[in-house]
Structure 1
Amino acid sequence: MSLQKKTTDYYNKNSLAMARKFAEFGGNYNIEQVITLLGKDNPCVLEIGCGDGRDAKRIVRCTKNYLGFDISSGMVELAEKRVPQARFLVRNSETYNFPKNIDIIFALTSLLHSSKVQLKNIFNKAYKSLNSGGIFYISLKYDKYHREIKKDNLGTRVFYFYTPKEILAIAGKKFKLIEKVVHVQKGRKFFIIVLQKIR
């Protein structure tokens, strides 16, 4: 079984336990400010890796046009119960064709399971999906690029670490940097990068 499949199975089998763990971290993102920055009423928002809907609950307060997807059916089931007014799908970010005419894409610590090759593919799809001037908001674990396989009593997951510089290199000249924030949660270093599609 591939590491990606093991990671997906991990979240499917332990969705409730992981939802409780996510709640401990809280939503430390400037979601509302980013939506306001766009200056558009009811922008079309796509969330990659929506998990249990924790952040979707905040996003739908700012827009009626939200779509979230996650590779884990267990997580999507929780999200649908948590935010019944939102739309969720079970999809793989690598194979899913992102919808067109999106204003903002959020990837809130969801791409940390994606390798550099996979991330390049996601960036290409995000660029095609976003409207001119659209926002791509990403948060990841901070470290020099490497893969880490984590095993515990619940199963196995694969993680990839990045630096902001590495993400900007993957983004290339199709996006410009709007904001970069480095922060620490529970002793772990994370970063946020807000990119804008160049017209």
Structure 2
Amino acid sequence: MTNQYYSENALDFFSSTVNVDVRKLYEQFLPHVPNQGKILDAGCGSGRDSKSFLDLGYQVTSLDANESLAKLAEEYLGQKVVVATFDSFEAAPGEFDAIWACASLLHVPAIKLPETFNNLSLLLKSGGVFYCSFKYGDNEQVRNGRLFSDLNEAKLENILISSSLSVVHTWVTSDARPGRESEKWLNAILTKK
């Protein structure tokens, strides 16, 4: 269902997100990533964040579950985007210094989030950093043909209870897209124990 939405709306989604300024999020994340470190952009969408990280000298692996979006991101980035889900993506354990999951894990059903966080955390080095963001709330709902698992601080902590990830810092922001400032987002910096 969610994947079909992105197939049908890939160009619109790409255009509406590729130029959104999220530098304030990078300021929270990048100090935890070694210079020229390896970042997994999990659910890269338009490739906006992958491009920013590449331009700053990081090694970036971009991943998206939607083939149409991945093609657009590949053209934008000038490098391959892996088409896979969070659960089917394969990499060596501990391969990445950091994982960036900006507005992507929110499409995972809430019941599957603990397993998804566990699977992704295996790809992180010990002490590695993991950024994620979710629409702020505690509901799971379908909006405009997409599933959203909204989280608040307590739900995130509960989801991570059985994982090797712990919360370093959370904060709430307004949506950075014009006209959507009233939408609130939970942002989190996690670290692997």
TM-score range, shorter chain: 0.7 to 0.9
Task: Find the partner of 2:65 among 71, 74, 80.
Answer: 71
Which residue type is aligned with residue 14 of structure 1?
N
Q: Who is 2:185 aligned against? A: 190
Instruction: Give the match's secondary structure for 1:60.
Output: helix
Task: Find the partner of 1:139 among 133, 145, 167.
Answer: 133
Which residue type is aligned with residue 148 of structure 1?
Q
Instruction: Establish whether residue 11 from structure 1 lines up as the match of residue 1 from structure 2.
Output: no
Gaps of at least 5 residues in structure 2 are 176-180
Deviations 1:62-91 (A, max 9, x none): 33421011111111111111111x431110
Instruction: Give the match's secondary structure for 2:160.
Output: helix
Instruction: Establish whether residue 167 from structure 1 lines up as the match of residue 156 from structure 2.
Output: yes
Q: Who is 1:157 aligned against? A: 146
CA contact (8 A) 1:134 1:197 kept: yes
CA contact (8 A) 1:138 1:192 kept: yes
Structure 1 position 127, deviation (Å): 2.0
Instruction: Establish whether residue 90 from structure 1 lines up as the match of residue 80 from structure 2.
Output: no
CA contact (8 A) 2:87 2:119 kept: no
Superposed, which structure 2 residues align to 1:114-125 within 5 Å?
A: 114-125=108-119
Structure 1 position 119, deviation (Å): 1.2
Q: Who is 1:51 aligned against? A: 45
Which residue type is aligned with residue 87 of structure 1?
K
For the aligned residues, what is the CA RMSD? 1.9
CA contact (8 A) 2:118 2:164 kept: no
Distance 1:65 1:25, change over 3 A: closer
Structure 1 position 29, deviation (Å): 4.5
- Between the aligned partners of 2:129 and 2:82, the Cα distance in structure 1 is 21
Gaps of at least 5 residues in structure 1 are 1-5
CA contact (8 A) 1:98 1:126 kept: no
Which residue type is aligned with residue 126 of structure 1?
L
Structure 1 position 25, deviation (Å): 4.7
CA contact (8 A) 1:49 1:68 kept: yes
Over the matched positions of the two proteins, sequence identity in percent amounts to 25
Q: Who is 1:3 aligned against? A: none
Structure 1 position 53, deviation (Å): 0.5
Deviations 1:153-198 (A, max 9, x none): xxx2221111122112211262232221111122101011001111
